[in-house]
Amino acid sequence: MLANKTALITGSTSGIGLGIAKALARQGANIVLNGFGDADGPQAEIRALGAKVAYHGADMSKPSEIEAMMNFAADSFGQVDILVNNAGIQHVARIEAFPIDKWDAILAINLSSAFHATRLALPAMRKANWGRIINVASVHGLVASAEKSAYVAAKHGVVGLTKVTALENATTGVTCNAICPGWVLTPLVQKQVDAKASANGVSNEEAKKLLLGEKEPSMQFTTPEELGELAVFFCSPAGANVRGVAWNMDGGWVAQ
């Protein structure tokens, strides 16, 4: 379905981003990965699916590096047809104790990076009259949790950016939508599981149940594979008039 299309997914060397990259690769898209840590393993996983893949290690807090990444993607495969803004970091603390540098970093990586990548991708998408911008927000783009002020603010901002991007391109073939996962067992969430296990003196499995029980009625983690299939839907002909939605995959979290 996505043969000859190029998808750039930020923060895609693991977790949600890699899950989305693999789902798009299965549909024939060329893939540009981005992120920290091991890049060779994820690239090999994409190649094993029969897709072409490239990697750029842009620091998503730096606009100049985001621009270099976008140029790299265009040089590698042609224009970016599908942009998935997924890069994100987390820090947990009460507002009065929240480190200023952590606030600035979370807003830069979780929100501003999506703006910069979007503004750079849009001209070519509009010229081609086809493009898909998928912002990985969070259930925390729709509701809040204590001690996550920067993350919640950034993710609410991502949902707002999604709506504006969709409206500004509503009469074109360019769509923009947000995916809002609940708990996904990524390295980011595993840290919270580990902290809960330590604080409560329980096993990792018990800590997972405690974490899910606080928020997610299904008592199941959403998987990167499920999120990847939603991204594929947004890119399909059936998703052509889905514009500006914040689609939560959260096991009933927001339904409460």
Distance CA 186, CA 191 (A): 9
Among the listed residues 55, 151, 183, 234, the single catalytic one is 151
Q: How far is CA 186 from the centre of its chain?
A: 12
In the block, tokens 């009065």 appear at 96
Determine the 3-state secondary structure of 148 from DSSP.
strand
Distance CA 37, CA 165 (A): 31
Task: From residue 3, give the alpha-carbon distance in Å to each of 29, 133, 180.
Answer: 5, 17, 27
How is 1-18 classified by DSSP, letter by letter? Answer: --TT-EEEESS-SSHHHH
Is position 151 annotated as part of the catalytic site?
yes
Length of the chain: 256
**CB-based contact 141:155 (threshold 8 Å):** yes
Catalytic residues: 151
